[in-house]
Amino acid sequence: MRVGFFVTCLVDLMRPAIGFAAIKLLEAGGAEVFVPATQTCCGQPGYNSGDRDGAIALATKLVAEFEACDYLVAPSGSCTGMIKTHYADLFRDDAPMLARAEALGARTFELTDFLVNVLKLDAVPGTFAGTVTYHDSCAGLREMGVKAQPRALLARMPGVRLNEMTECETCCGFGGTFSIKYGEIATRLADDKCGHIAASGADAVVLGDLGCMLNIEGRLRRRGDRRTRVLHIAELLAGD
């Protein structure tokens, strides 16, 4: 099984350890992982900001890089949702590209969904002793249906105790360019999220999108919380 791995811009630039952890998990499930050196962006920032031509150029490039793979996997519900859901809109006036994008989209998965439902991973290499709480990132939850999958994987770790926070499905305030356009609202949402994390008493907050991670961790530290760890689900499961 040849699995194309889309690293994502943020992981590549800000926390590459997430990418290496994800690859470790995919290989643990028996996948042959393909990471094209030419990959860049899925086009989501441009798409959300109205740069349709720029988004189409990046989407065309991504389809060409990954369409020969059996599957495409990304450690981000946001980027995965862009490929699987919004490429159809980008290519609505280009029938040949639409067909190619839809064929790839049908084989595109968020990481934890792929580990649970395709690879059916029954054990993970990571170890962790402590209490965690889980933040459901908006795109992963609402576009990709990611909810039970990360929790099922956490349940495979004997040392982990999951303590669900209040409003675990509520936005953290990041939302890509939303946090820039609507800074006051985004800050309030982030403060509410940090309060719920603190109330859970967890040693770490775990989630599946680096954008949300950076937003939550930044706000926790500004509020004076130096204790709570902020981890991508791949880092916890892989032990990296």
Tally the C-alpha atoms within 13 A of residue 60's C-alpha that lie toward its C-beta.
12
Domain 130-238: state its class: alpha beta
Task: Encode pLDDT of 93-152 as tens digits.
Answer: 999 999 999 999 999 999 999 999 999 999 999 999 999 999 999 999 999 999 999 999
> Which residues in the chain belong to E strands, given as ranges?
2-5, 32-34, 71-74, 108-110, 130-134, 160-162, 204-207, 229-232
pLDDT score of 28: 95
Task: Encode pLDDT of 7-50 as tens digits.
Answer: 999 999 999 999 999 999 999 999 999 999 999 999 999 999 99
Q: Is the pTM above the cut of 0.85?
A: yes
Q: H/E element holding 20?
A: helix 16-28
165 has pLDDT over 90: yes
Tally the C-alpha atoms within 13 A of residue 46's C-alpha that lie toward its C-beta.
16
Give the separation between CA 226 and CA 32, rounded to whole angstroms.
38
240 has pLDDT over 60: no
Q: Are 135 and 206 in contact (CB under 8 A)?
A: yes
194 has pLDDT over 60: yes
pLDDT score of 182: 81
Strand 130-134 relative to strand 160-162: parallel, antiparallel, unpaired? parallel
- For the chain, the structural domain boundaries read 2-117, 130-238
